[in-house]
Structure 1
Amino acid sequence: MIGFKSTLLNVTLAITATIPLATAGLFSFAGSAQAAALSGEIQFSGGFTLSPFASSQITFSKDALSFTPQPITPIGIGSTTGNFSAFNSGNIGNIISFSSKVADNPFIDFGYLAIPGIISPGGDTSSITDGLNTFTLTSSSYKLNQSGLNVGIDVALFGYFTSATGEKSNGGGNLTFQVNNKSVASVNSILSSGSSISNLSFSGGTFTTSVPEPAALLGLGAVGGVMAMSRRRKSFVQ
């Protein structure tokens, strides 16, 4: 009877010791997976190219947004959360068609410049044109809003982020800009005629809406704990 109680006590202690270890392994694994995916928020605005000097701007038509200068339209990142803190700049592409949901993807390529959002003569722009750490646009739409004597345009962005290691996370965001001294009706009239509105400054933000779920990892951690306890019980029997 004493031997049985001793064995039972040892099994209980083994189970108790195994659970924290399995849990620690689970969270370590989950943390590693989450760290590889881009997660958090970014606020940005148009940047500048210094030679020749040009500010990043939008040309807005009924079915498209195009950005200048080309081939690189720099953006400066003002604030970040999560692991987006590694970036201070980016290169933004064009929305070729709202109706057919076609974009110049990756829509944003995040990276780092010596001065946030500013391309200086001879400056290294490889990190914002390398196709790593990107936001791919899958759909977008816009709304016109009267704000005093101006028209505010809000462009909704939907897509996903891809990290340098290939991990994907769902995301979204928006672009905002305005047309001064116009009404919504007059802006709609310009767009409907096939004309466009140029030289528009912009700002915006993107954020992740979901990252790799740890639920599947939970199952792996539980299985690992059961296996460890099973091996422990077998040693008692022997």
Structure 2
Amino acid sequence: MIGFKSKLLNATLAFTAAIPLATAGMFTSAGSAQAAALNGEIQFNGGFTAGPGSSQITFSQDALTFTPQPITPIAIGSTTGNFSAFNSGNIGNIISFSSKVADNPFIDFGSLTYPGFILPGTDTSSITDGLNTFTLTSSSYKLNQDGLNVGIGVALFGYFTSATGEISNGGGNLTFQVNNASVAGVNSILSSGGSISNLTFSGGTFATVPEPTTLLGLGIVGVGMVMSRRRKTVA
């Protein structure tokens, strides 16, 4: 009996000692992940390219296509979190509603000398390098009558990848409008296979990363499993 109590006490002390180490490790891991993963919010508008002009959308029943190409710049306005490192981005060529896919990465974030402006000689490498990106996994659109105009809202669902490879869940939206139109009229154009061009747009995205408490809970469960195996060994 004394031997059993001694083993039980040793196991208990070992478990107690392991908790601070595990929690410290989990908080360090969580802090590192949060620092590296993209998190926060971005608001943006279409940018401008010398020659082609402003970034625009062509809207059809099955897809959105973006011009100019190969780069459709966006100008980032307000940001939160570590998105503050960026002032511009390059948006992908197409969103396909029928197949729920897009040209990915859908947005490549970076910085330009002037937010969203590509002028002769502008270095665009940071918005075409495939780092700090938003990948679109699905999308849908909705038409709303807004006075004499039709507002179109496009929901975006996907995930962000940081320059160091960390993934964070996220989503966002694109908004634009057709002036002097009705929902019925726009639907008639789309259903007949037509499209509406020269539409300017704005939008926003947000990213979330795991909470440290979630990682901490997983760490304590892991310690418990280790100590359970240890008790079986010493019993």
What's the TM-score once normalised by structure 2's chain length? 0.82
- Aligned to 1:182, what secondary structure does the other structure show? coil
CA distance in 2 between counterparts of 1:222 and 1:99 reads 43
Name the amino acid aligned to 1:73: T
Deviations 1:80-105 (A, max 9, x none): 11111111100001334201112111
Secondary structure in 2 matching 1:77: strand
Q: Does residue 78 of the first structure (1) align with residue 77 of the second (2)?
A: yes
Aligned partners of 1:26 and 1:221 also within 8 Å = no
Looking at structure 2, the residues matched to 223 and 159 of structure 1 have their Cα atoms a distance apart, in angstroms, of 30
CA contact (8 A) 1:25 1:221 kept: no
Task: Give per-residue Cα distances to partners, 1:122-178, cap 9 Å, x unaligned.
Answer: 111001001111001110000000000000000000011111111111111100000
Residue 217 of structure 1: CA displacement? 4.6
Q: Runs of 5+ in structure 2 lacking a partner? A: 1-12, 227-235
Q: Matched residue pairs, number?
A: 213
Mapped partners of 2:148, 2:222: distance in 1: 63
Cross-structure match for 2:202:
203
- 1:191 is matched with 190
Shift of 1:219: 4.4
Instruction: Give the letter aligned to residue 94 of structure 2.
Output: I
Asked if residue 28 in structure 1 is aligned to residue 25 in structure 2, the reply is no
Contact 1:29 1:217 survives alignment (8 Å): no
Q: What secondary structure sits across from 2:64 in the alignment?
A: strand
Aligned AA (1:142)? Y
Distance in 2, Cα, partners of 1:185 & 1:63: 17
Paired position in structure 2 for 1:67 = 66
- Give the 3 Å change call, closer, same or farther, for CA 171–219 of structure 1 in structure 2: closer
Q: What TM-score comes out, normalization by structure 1 length?
A: 0.81
For the residues of structure 2 that align with 1:168 and 1:104, how far apart are their CA atoms? 19
> Helix, strand or coil: the match of 1:41?
strand
C-alpha displacement of 1:29: 2.4
* 2:4 paired residue number: none
Gap regions ≥5 residues in structure 1: 1-11, 228-238
| 2:144 corresponds to | 145
| Other structure's SS at 2:33 match | helix
Find the aligned partners of 2:215 and 2:23 in 1 and give their Cα distance: 14
Q: 1:147 to 1:29 in 2, by over 3 A?
A: same
Query: Is the partner of 1:114 in helix, strand or coil?
Result: coil
Maintained 8 Å contact 1:37/1:212: no
Alignment correspondent of 1:38: 38
Aligned position for 1:124: 123
* 1:78, distance to aligned residue in structure 2 (A): 0.3
